[in-house]
């Protein structure tokens, strides 16, 4: 447990140094060392498997649109087993698409270790891999607390509600999965 915590801090420090727009400043321009969402709320499994890649993708888009320095993540955390990310809106729609893809991946990423997992429903819904689940000593087996039909697929659909009704859009996370470290990578026919 302790070792995991240390790893998360190292990941955060590295990200804050590389991507200065992640830092939060007070009115006097002093930088708060503790970016609360990063240190407190964001699950360490996701911090290992997903966060560095997501920040890299967002950064690339911000550079392209010239929004570095304007864009801020206000909060990013786990809610109902899914990554939720709030920001100040100073970016293109593509940043929201990036966040949506990682939110989708978060469903199937163990919040504890970052390896592929499934949603475990114990009244509290949280994605977990079988190994982390077994360590926690639940009474029922993993197979009974997960939904076999809710498995990872590289392409997913999102319903978008607009003036003309409902529109379904498809998103593909294959390119993200290819860039993940092998131990965190979802099974996919690459």
Stretch near Zn ion under the rule CB under 5 A, chosen from 60-68, 102-110, 137-145, 175-183: 102-110
Which residues pair with residue 155 across a beta bridge? 172
Minimum distance from residue 120 beta carbon to Zn ion (Å): 10
Give yes or no for residue 112 binding Zn ion (CB under 5 A): yes
By rule CB under 5 A, what count of residues binds Zn ion? 6
Q: DSSP secondary structure string, 111-136?
A: TTT-SB-EEEESSSEEEE-HHHHHHT
Complex with Zn ion: residue 46 or 102, whichever CB lies closer = 46
Complex with Zn ion: residue 110 or 173, whichever CB lies closer = 110
First to last CA, the chain: 33
Complex with Zn ion: residue 8 or 59, whichever CB lies closer = 8
Minimum distance from residue 131 beta carbon to Zn ion (Å): 6
Give yes or no for residue 110 binding Zn ion (CB under 5 A): yes
Give yes or no for residue 47 binding Zn ion (CB under 5 A): no
Give yes or no for residue 55 binding Zn ion (CB under 5 A): no
Q: What dihedral angle (degrees, nearest 10) is formed by the CA atoms of 35, 76, 67, 178? A: 110
Give yes or no for residue 113 binding Zn ion (CB under 5 A): yes
C-alpha R_g of the chain? 17
| Residues within window 125-144 making contact with Zn ion, judged by CB under 5 A | 129, 132
Give yes or no for residue 99 binding Zn ion (CB under 5 A): no
Minimum distance from residue 132 beta carbon to Zn ion (Å): 3
Is residue 23 within 8 A of residue 35, CB to CB? The reply is yes
Give yes or no for residue 91 binding Zn ion (CB under 5 A): no
Q: What is the number of other CB atoms lying within 10 angstroms of the CB of residue 126? A: 20
Q: What is the number of other CB atoms lying within 10 angstroms of the CB of residue 43? A: 23
Is residue 113 within 8 A of residue 129, CB to CB? The reply is yes
Judged by the rule CB under 5 A, the positions of this chain that interact with Zn ion are 110, 112-113, 115, 129, 132
């Amino acid at each position: 447990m302790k070792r995991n915590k240390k790893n998360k801090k190292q990941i955060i420090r590295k990200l804050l140094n590389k991507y200065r727009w992640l830092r939060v400043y007070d009115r006097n321009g002093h930088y708060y060392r503790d970016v609360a969402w990063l240190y407190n709320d964001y699950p360490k499994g996701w911090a290992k498997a997903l966060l560095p890649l997501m920040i890299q993708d967002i950064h690339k888009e911000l550079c392209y649109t010239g929004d570095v320095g304007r864009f801020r993540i206000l909060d990013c955390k786990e809610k109902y087993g899914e990554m939720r990310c709030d920001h100040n809106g100073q970016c293109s729609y593509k940043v929201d698409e990036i966040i949506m893809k990682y939110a989708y991946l978060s469903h199937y990423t163990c919040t504890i270790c970052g390896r592929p997992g499934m949603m475990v429903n114990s009244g509290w819904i949280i994605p977990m891999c079988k190994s982390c689940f077994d360590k926690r000593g639940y009474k029922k087996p993993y197979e009974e607390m997960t939904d076999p039909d809710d498995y990872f697929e590289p392409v997913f659909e999102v319903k978008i509600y607009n003036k003309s009704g409902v529109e379904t859009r498809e998103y593909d996370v294959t390119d993200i999965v290819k860039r993940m470290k092998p131990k965190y990578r979802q099974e996919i026919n690459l």
